[in-house]
Amino acid sequence: MPAVETDQASVRLDKLRQLEALGIDPWGQRFDGRTPIGEIRLLEPLPFDDANPQGQRVTAAGRIVRHRTGGKLHFLELWDQSGRIQLMIRVNKVSELEWKVLNLLDLGDIVGVSGEFGKTKVGELTIQVDQLTFLTKSLEPHPKDVFGLGDMEYRLRHRYLDMIYTPETLKRIQQRVKIVRTIRNHLDDQGYVEVETPTLHAIAGGAAARPFDTHHNALDLDLFVRIALELPLKRLLVGGLEKVYEIGRVFRNEGISPRHNPEFTMLELYCAYGDLFSIMELTEGVFGACVDVLGLGKILPYGECQIDFTGPWPRVLYADIFRQTVGVDLFDEVGVRTAATDNKIHLELRDTKAGTSTPKQHEVLVHELFEHLCEPELAKSHQPTFVYDYPAALCPLTKRKRENPKLAERFELYIAGMELANAYTELNDPITQEATFREQLTGMNADDSMAKMDDDFVRALRHGMPPAGGLGIGIDRLVMLLTNTTTIRDVILFPLLRPETK
């Protein structure tokens, strides 16, 4: 007895050949007149009555995701991006050719159908098919969806299957689109203009992160892929755009975690004549619009907790939360060093390559203490909280407070322990800007410094940038928060994975 061909892909290829033998194009043609399944499901479902058909005629197209065969009666489920619906196909309702095609269908094939919409005896919304059009053959077996897709790697390497068989995935994609569109509408309504600025930068400024390097051959020029949108947008403020924003991809050559992907999407906006506090209100407005568009009320679940987005949100001073949590004053250098030692924070930065170590500057220690002690404290409440007035040394692009130049007018928005937004009253004094670009924080890795001399940017400021407020929002984290998603990989369609090696 010859070996039976059992490989599922081969079986499917064989069915493709059989379709061709029947004169069917296995890759299909234009198919007009379909209605999304989600809309069909809203029609009035009348019970089927052969003698007196009253149901509405509908046409749909999509993927076969289930197939219950009977002798002369088949039930299938058809899936499209708007939903699923049952198909009922009876032998005496379709042509002989269509019946042969039906018996060659595999899970994952794409078909178009027309027929009467109604409900079966048990009340299931159904299309009783009288026209079956084959549209696309699937040559690979699809995962059986009954128990869902469990393996993260499989889901990420086959995102297209994840979209079909893990309903939450498609839903999150759709919600992300809604959220981003809502942000654009909200800003456009307030007179903001959206722009696109370069991705390739000669100087990777605007944030503290390691950039990706690249090279332009014709100019023989080393370049970086942008790590932030900030500096080009502020040049546009100089140029007279008063309310400007960009939603764009930025790239940071750093670790990957449930909250970090090497490329992610940022919103940055700048508002001439605004400041830190006008930006707080704007931020509440943007978040509020996004929360509203989901239509789930003002209180959304995130993991174990409930987040109440009703504004205005609490505003707490960095210095206050520092004093309360760490127990010493922000500017108490001795106290801070003691607290750092007590909390096992190293007072020196060791450069293992150079074999040297440098004592860390006061503000670096302050912020390490803040991250170790204050951020967990902030995470306990889960509720949106603005933390503002940061140590100036940590903020080279931020305007100093007039009454205390050791503080800068910066806030970060914390929700559920995540940093969701970062905003400044923008530094528009070119003399101070040049000085902060020159000042390297001592005890901080040079790669990580936000202070990178950018003469061209300083020159722009020297021509006069209006006082302004600026805001950055991590769109991926915002979508995570609003869609109750705990890993950034599930709000990014194709997060970075190592390529498979055969």
Partner RNA sequence: GAGGACGUAGCUCAGCCGGUAGAGCAGCUCACUUUUAAUGAGCGGGUCGUGGGUUCGAUCCCCACCGUCCUCACCA
> Binders of RNA among 66-95, rule CB under 7 A?
66-73, 75, 86, 88, 90-92
Residues numbered 480-499 forming contacts with RNA, rule: CB under 7 A: 487, 489, 495, 497-498
Q: How far is the CB of 103 from RNA (least distance, A)?
A: 8
- Distance between CA 248 and CA 261 in Å, rounded? 14
Closer residue to RNA in complex, CB, 37/364: 364
> Could you say whether residue 253 binds RNA (CB under 7 A)?
no
> Could you say whether residue 255 binds RNA (CB under 7 A)?
yes
Tokens 């170590």, located at residue: 357
Residues numbered 117-136 forming contacts with RNA, rule: CB under 7 A: 120-124, 126
Closer residue to RNA in complex, CB, 44/140: 140
Instruction: Determine contact, residues 397/230, Cβ cutoff 8 Å.
Output: yes
Q: How far is the CB of 216 from RNA (least distance, A)?
A: 26
Q: How far is the CB of 244 from RNA (least distance, A)?
A: 22
Closer residue to RNA in complex, CB, 67/315: 67
Q: How far is the CB of 497 from RNA (least distance, A)?
A: 4
Q: How far is the CB of 474 from RNA (least distance, A)?
A: 10
Residues numbered 278-337 forming contacts with RNA, rule: CB under 7 A: none
Closer residue to RNA in complex, CB, 2/240: 2
Residues numbered 417-446 forming contacts with RNA, rule: CB under 7 A: 441, 444-445
Among 19, 102, 208, 267, binds RNA (CB under 7 A): 208
Scanning 237-245, 257-265, 317-325, 466-474 for contacts with RNA by CB under 7 A, the matching segment is: 257-265
- Distance between CA 39 and CA 62 in Å, rounded? 14
- Distance between CA 441 and CA 152 in Å, rounded? 40
| Crossing angle between the packed helical segments 167-189 and 475-482, to the nearest 10 degrees | 120
- Distance between CA 475 and CA 421 in Å, rounded? 9
- Distance between CA 298 and CA 426 in Å, rounded? 31
Rg (CA), the chain: 29
> Could you say whether residue 61 binds RNA (CB under 7 A)?
no
Residues 6+ apart with CB under 8 A from 160: none
Residues numbered 11-30 forming contacts with RNA, rule: CB under 7 A: 11, 15
| Beta-bridge mates of residue 407 | 391
Provide φ and ψ at 402, rounded to 5°: -60, -40
Among 33, 258, 297, 405, binds RNA (CB under 7 A): 258
- Distance between CA 80 and CA 66 in Å, rounded? 13
Scanning 24-32, 390-398, 427-435, 455-463 for contacts with RNA by CB under 7 A, the matching segment is: 390-398
274 exposed, middle or buried (CB, 10 Å; 0-12, 13-18, 19+)?
A: buried
Q: Are strands 315-317 and 385-391 parallel, antiparallel or unpaired?
A: parallel
Give how far Cα 464 sits from Cα of 275, 416, 459, Å: 17, 39, 9
> Could you say whether residue 206 binds RNA (CB under 7 A)?
no
Tokens 């700048």, located at residue: 270
> Could you say whether residue 144 binds RNA (CB under 7 A)?
yes
Structure tokens at 261: 């992907």
> Could you say whether residue 367 binds RNA (CB under 7 A)?
yes
Instruction: Determine contact, residues 128/50, Cβ cutoff 8 Å.
Output: no
Among 29, 52, 217, 501, binds RNA (CB under 7 A): 501
Among 20, 25, 44, 151, binds RNA (CB under 7 A): 151
Q: How long a stretch of residues is the chain? A: 502
Q: How far is the CB of 139 from RNA (least distance, A)?
A: 12
Q: How far is the CB of 293 from RNA (least distance, A)?
A: 27
Residues numbered 445-464 forming contacts with RNA, rule: CB under 7 A: 445, 448-451
SS3 of 311-336: CCCCEEEHHHHHHHHHCCCCCCHHHH
Among 130, 168, 254, 292, binds RNA (CB under 7 A): 254
Q: How many residues bind RNA (CB under 7 A)?
A: 74
> Could you say whether residue 152 binds RNA (CB under 7 A)?
yes
Among 185, 257, 356, 404, binds RNA (CB under 7 A): 257
SS3 of 125-181: EEEEEEEEEEEECCCCCCCCCCCCCCCHHHHHHCHHHHHHHCHHHHHHHHHHHHHHH
> Could you say whether residue 365 binds RNA (CB under 7 A)?
no
> Could you say whether residue 160 binds RNA (CB under 7 A)?
no
Closer residue to RNA in complex, CB, 113/441: 441
